[in-house]
Amino acid sequence: MGYESASGVSYHFGISRAGRIRQFVDVTRMAWANGTTTVATDNRFVGLATVPLIRRLGGNANWYAIAVGYEGFLRQANGALTTEQLEAGAWLHRYIRGQVKRLYDHEIPLNRQHIVGHFEINPRTKPDCPGAAFQWDELIRMINNPGGITDSGAGSEVESEIRRGSIVQFSGGNVFRSSADINPAGSRDASLCEVTAIAPGAVRPYHVISIDGGNVHGWVDAETVRKASEAIEVGSMVKITGANYATGQAIPGWVRSTGHKVSRIADDRALLGAVGGVNSWVYLRDLKLA
């Protein structure tokens, strides 16, 4: 998707009230969300931005901003996010930073000088976006360190190995709204996930969110996850079980029938055979140990 034809507006990502994340524009392309201009008489003049970084970079902020939209109506919530949106937003900002680092070797600081609102970029045309009740402090805190939740567990052997930020394979099954819930919110299929929070000793110790397009978002039982790197890591010999490379191109039969050495792992994918091999990226979910 480039931009929505009726309004000329688009976002890179959108987050529903239930915390579901959808990507509309690739981060390597420009979305039409935070447009500014160098024309001083225009209400969107970049010099009006209250963010020093925007004024310094100048031009059209769409050129260098990654836009995240949250579902909601100003008149109903005044910009306040649901708990699910806060959790998803915190994960998404870390994901975006990782993608920018991988693509451009640039580290985005996760602070209020770099995570800003539309009202700070276009104060005249968008003074109420996202709204006065938007939980900026809470979001920044959760991005950098989800409150009350540790990086590693303290109880079982499994908890001591899986940390916040670990990439895990969810085997499928029940997903819960809280770490203490008895009744599940629903059942989800197997999915490659990131651990976004840990509650040591809880009934459901891991909060996970899909990173492979799946719909897992919630707390899960320890026995339903395993650390992806336990099975596949740099140097592992693997075989490809999927039909397509991470780029979407079809994988020839001869490539799938042979073994490959993992040269690098980044997020949810692995680079196979960088030296003397196929030199191609494949999703971890489409690999198995040879």
Per the CB < 8 A criterion, the answer to whether 234 and 214 are in contact is no
The residue among 255 and 7 whose pLDDT is bigger is: 255
CATH number of 13-144: 3.40.80.10
pLDDT at 150: 39
- Give per-residue burial for 81-107: e unless 16+ CB within 10 Å, then b: bbebbbbbbbbbbbbbbbbbeeeeeee
Q: Which amino acid is at 140?
A: I
Give me the CATH topology for the region 157-228.
Answer: SH3 type barrels. (2.30.30)
- Range with top average pLDDT, 183-192, 198-207, 262-271: 183-192
Residue 9: band (very low, low, confident or very high) from pLDDT cuts 50, 70, 90: confident
Bridge partners of 17, per DSSP, are none
Q: Can you give the residue ranges of every domain in the chain?
A: 13-144, 157-228, 232-289
pLDDT at 6: 59
Listed residue (133, 120, 93) closest to 109, CA to CA: 93
3-state secondary structure of 8: coil
Residue 153, pLDDT > 80, answer: no
* Percent of the chain whose pLDDT exceeds 70: 90
pLDDT tens, 52-89? 999 999 999 999 999 999 999 888 889 999 988 998 89
Compute CA distances 42 → 118, 140, 154, 235, whole Å. 16, 32, 57, 56
13-144 shares its CATH topology with 157-228: no
Residue 228: band (very low, low, confident or very high) from pLDDT cuts 50, 70, 90: low
Q: What is the mean pLDDT of residues 245-256?
A: 88
pLDDT at 229: 54
The residue among 119 and 197 whose pLDDT is bigger is: 119
Residue 209, pLDDT > 50, answer: yes
pLDDT tens, 97-114? 888 888 888 889 989 999
Q: What CA–CA distance (Å, rounded) separates 166 from 267?
A: 10
pLDDT at 40: 95
Average predicted confidence (pLDDT) for the chain: 84
Give me the CATH topology for the region 232-289.
Answer: SH3 type barrels. (2.30.30)
pLDDT at 1: 36
pLDDT tens, 168-201? 888 888 999 888 778 889 999 888 888 888 887 6
pLDDT at 156: 33
3-state secondary structure of 136: helix
Per the CB < 8 A criterion, the answer to whether 81 and 117 are in contact is no
3-state secondary structure of 196: strand
Listed residue (57, 69, 56, 61) closest to 25, CA to CA: 69
Instruction: Enter the pTM of the model.
Output: 0.54
